[in-house]
A = this chain, B = another copy of it.
Amino acid sequence: MTNTVQMLETYPAEIGLERQQLAKVIDTLTNCAQTCTACADACLSESADELPRLARCIRDNLDCADICTTTSSVLSRHTGYDARVTHAQVQAAIQATKTCGDSCQEHAEHHEHCRICAQACRETEQALNDLLPHVEPSGQAPRQPSQAAPQQG
């Protein structure tokens, strides 16, 4: 059990997103990041026969872990929300989970850690795709000037 929903519920200003969905995306991202970090390390400890063909998978795991962690942090902040940043970072995470999910899937039959990691990437990619339309920048509305404190904006 994480605190993600509780932290969204106690945020003192408005959040323009549905909180249950947002919490699920954040939790999925942090789980995916940890799974990718662990999968990269599990690949590193495979036999000398196996390791060379896992090199690209390790690289994709490392990118995916970094990108999911950063995306989770961006989605955990709501002060002075700029949909353009959120949207672009969510798109990067969709691509990273797709690429890493594909890499891990290639090894899923031989390595159980890759099978679990591929599944985590697929779930995260799906959750991010479901969120994407809700973080679409309007294109018209510039953010209010930050000279106004956020709670008075």
Query: In the assembled complex, which residues on chain B have CB atoms less than 8 Å from the CB atom of A117?
Result: 3, 7
Q: How many copies does the complex hold?
A: 4
Residues of B within 8 A of A94 (CB): 88
Interface residue SS majority, chain A: helix
User: CA separation between A94 and B132, bound complex, in Å?
Assistant: 19
Asked whether, in the complex, the Cβ of B35 is within 8 Å of the Cβ of A150, the reply is no
CB distance from A115 to the nearest CB of B (A): 8
Shortest Cβ gap from A141 to chain B (Å): 14
Q: How far is the CA of A42 from the CA of B113 in the complex (A)?
A: 24
Task: Give residues of chain A (32-54) contacting chain B, Cβ–Cβ below 8 Å.
Answer: 33-35, 37-42, 44-48, 51-54
Best-buried of A6, A84, A143 by chain B (most CB within 10 Å): A6
